Structure 1
Amino acid sequence: MAITVVKNTLGSVAWYLLAVAFAFAFAAAYLAHSYKQYLKLSAFRGPPTSGWSNFWLVRAVMRQNTHIDFANVCEKYGSVARIAPNKLVTSSPELLFRMSAARSPYTRSDWYAGLRLPPGQDNIFSTMDEKQHSRRRAQMADGYTGKTNTFLESTIDTHILNLVRLVRTKYVSTSTEFIPMDIARKAAYFTMDVITDIAFRQSFGNLVDDCDTYRYIQSTEEMLPIMITLTSVPALSAFFQFPWVAKLFSPNDKDNTGVGKLIGIARKLVHERFTKKSAVDNDMMASFIAHGLSETDLVAESLLQILAGADTSATAIRATLLHLISHPLAYRTLQGEIDKHLEEGLISSPVVKESEASKMKYLQAVIKEGLRIWPPVTGLLSKQSPLDGDEFELDGHKIFIPGDTSVGYCAWGIHRNKEIFGADADMFRPERWLTDDSSKLAVMNRTAELIWGYGKYQCLGRPVALMELNKVFVELLLNFDFELVDSTSPWKSANVGLWIQSELEYVEEIHCADKELQDHLPDNLEAFQDTFKERFTGLSREDIVVWHDKYRAMYIDQENTYSLLSHGATQLKLESFVNVKRVSVNNGCEPETEQNLAALDAQEIFKHPAQWGTMTQARAGRGWFTHPHAVDEKGDLDRPLRELLHVDWMRPTFLPLVPLLYPQLRHLEFHCFAIHHRTFLECLGMLQNSLRFLIFSNCVFKPTLLTVFTKIREMKSVPLITIFKHSHDYDSQPIPEKPSILTEEAITPYLVWLRMNGSLSLHDWDKWVLEYADENSGDAESVEDE
Structure 2
Amino acid sequence: MGRSMIETIDPVNIQAVLAHQFEDFDLGSRNDCMRPLLGEGIFASDGPVWEHSRALLRPNFVRAQVSDMNNVYEKHVSRLIRKIPVDGSTTIDSATEFLFGKSVDTLLANESNSTANSTSNAFAQDFQISQAGILLRIRLGGLKAFYRDKAFTKATEDSREYCMGIVREALANRDSPKSSSDQSYVFLHELMKQSQDEKMLADQLLNLLLAGRDSTAGLLSILFLTLAKRQDILLKLREEVLPKLDGRKPSFEDLKSMTYLTWCLKETLRVYPIVPINVRVANKNTTLPTGGGPNGNLPLFIPKGQEVMYSSFSIHRLPEVFGEDAEEFRPERWEGLKPGWAYTPFSGGPRICLGQQFAMTEAAYTTVRILQEFDHIESRDPEPFKENVTLTLASQNGTKVALTSSQKQ
* 1:107-126 CA distance string (max 9 Å, x none): 22324224434458211101
**Contact 1:391–1:399 at 8 Å: present in 2 too?**
yes
Q: Partner residue of 1:460?
A: 354
The 3 A distance-change label for structure 1 pair 504 and 492 is farther
Report which structure shows greater RCO (CA 8 Å, sep ≥6).
2
Q: Partner residue of 1:193?
A: 93
| 1:214-363 alignment runs, 5 A limit | 214-237=121-144, 250-252=152-154, 259-276=156-173, 279=179, 282-292=185-195, 294-343=197-246, 349=248, 351-363=249-261
* 1:1-44 CA distance string (max 9 Å, x none): xxxxxxxxxxxxxxxxxxxxxxxxxxxxxxxxxxxxxxxxxxxx
Q: What letter matches 1:161 in structure 2? A: S
> Aligned to 1:94, which of 12, 15, 27?
12
CA distance in 2, matches of 1:210, 1:164: 15
Q: Partner residue of 2:274?
A: 376
CA distance in 1, matches of 2:236, 2:66: 34
**Contact 1:123–1:300 at 8 Å: present in 2 too?**
yes
**Contact 2:381–2:401 at 8 Å: present in 1 too?**
no
CA distance in 2, matches of 1:271, 1:469: 31
CA distance in 2, matches of 1:120, 1:466: 23
Q: Partner residue of 1:506?
A: 401
The 3 A distance-change label for structure 1 pair 494 and 415 is same
TM-score by length of 2: 0.85
Query: How much has 1:475 moved relative to structure 2?
Result: 0.9
The 3 A distance-change label for structure 1 pair 353 and 495 is same
| 1:515-526 alignment runs, 5 A limit | none
1:116 is paired with a residue of what secondary structure?
Answer: helix
CA distance in 2, matches of 1:223, 1:492: 23
**Contact 1:490–1:504 at 8 Å: present in 2 too?**
no
2:277 is paired with a residue of what secondary structure?
Answer: coil
**Contact 1:149–1:284 at 8 Å: present in 2 too?**
no
> Aligned to 1:430, which of 305, 310, 331?
331
The 3 A distance-change label for structure 1 pair 270 and 465 is same
TM-score by length of 1: 0.46
Q: Partner residue of 1:412?
A: 313
1:383 is paired with a residue of what secondary structure?
Answer: strand
| 1:584-663 alignment runs, 5 A limit | none
> Aligned to 1:139, which of 51, 56, 71?
56
1:233 is paired with a residue of what secondary structure?
Answer: helix
CA distance in 2, matches of 1:120, 1:154: 27
**Contact 1:494–1:500 at 8 Å: present in 2 too?**
yes
Structure index of larger Rg: 1
* 1:32-89 CA distance string (max 9 Å, x none): xxxxxxxxxxxxxxxxxxxxx36xxxxxxxxxxxxxxxxxxxxxxxxxxxxx42x222
Task: Give me the identity figure in percent.
Answer: 20
Query: How much has 1:457 moved relative to structure 2?
Result: 1.0
CA distance in 2, matches of 1:207, 1:100: 38
Query: How much has 1:388 moved relative to structure 2?
Result: 2.4
Query: How much has 1:162 moved relative to structure 2?
Result: 1.7
Q: Partner residue of 2:342?
A: 447
Q: Partner residue of 1:389?
A: 286
CA distance in 2, matches of 1:481, 1:199: 33
CA distance in 1, matches of 2:221, 2:357: 19
| 1:624-773 alignment runs, 5 A limit | none
The 3 A distance-change label for structure 1 pair 152 and 140 is farther
2:61 is paired with a residue of what secondary structure?
Answer: helix
CA distance in 1, matches of 2:56, 2:261: 32
Query: How much has 1:90 moved relative to structure 2?
Result: 1.6
Query: How much has 1:341 moved relative to structure 2?
Result: 0.8
1:460 is paired with a residue of what secondary structure?
Answer: coil
1:142 is paired with a residue of what secondary structure?
Answer: helix
Q: Partner residue of 1:524?
A: none
CA distance in 1, matches of 2:87, 2:387: 13
The 3 A distance-change label for structure 1 pair 507 and 127 is same
Query: How much has 1:335 moved relative to structure 2?
Result: 0.4
| 1:88-167 alignment runs, 5 A limit | 88-101=6-19, 104-118=22-36, 121-128=39-46, 130-147=47-64, 154-167=71-84
**Contact 2:275–2:345 at 8 Å: present in 1 too?**
yes
**Contact 2:19–2:348 at 8 Å: present in 1 too?**
yes
Query: How much has 1:147 moved relative to structure 2?
Result: 4.9
1:287 is paired with a residue of what secondary structure?
Answer: helix
The 3 A distance-change label for structure 1 pair 104 and 221 is closer
Query: How much has 1:146 moved relative to structure 2?
Result: 4.8
Aligned length: 391
CA distance in 1, matches of 2:340, 2:206: 31
**Contact 2:346–2:356 at 8 Å: present in 1 too?**
yes
Q: Partner residue of 1:611?
A: none
CA distance in 2, matches of 1:92, 1:324: 31
> Aligned to 1:478, which of 347, 368, 372?
372
Q: What letter matches 1:126 in structure 2? A: A
Cα-Cα RMSD: 2.9
Query: How much has 1:410 moved relative to structure 2?
Result: 0.7
Q: What letter matches 1:232 in structure 2? A: R
CA distance in 2, matches of 1:203, 1:446: 36
1:451 is paired with a residue of what secondary structure?
Answer: coil
Query: Runs of 5+ in structure 2 lacking a partner?
Result: 112-117
CA distance in 2, matches of 1:150, 1:507: 30
Query: Runs of 5+ in structure 1 lacking a partner?
Result: 1-52, 55-83, 172-180, 253-257, 436-440, 515-786
1:452 is paired with a residue of what secondary structure?
Answer: coil
Residue range with higher mean Cα deviation, 305-314 or 495-504: 495-504
Query: How much has 1:145 moved relative to structure 2?
Result: 2.6
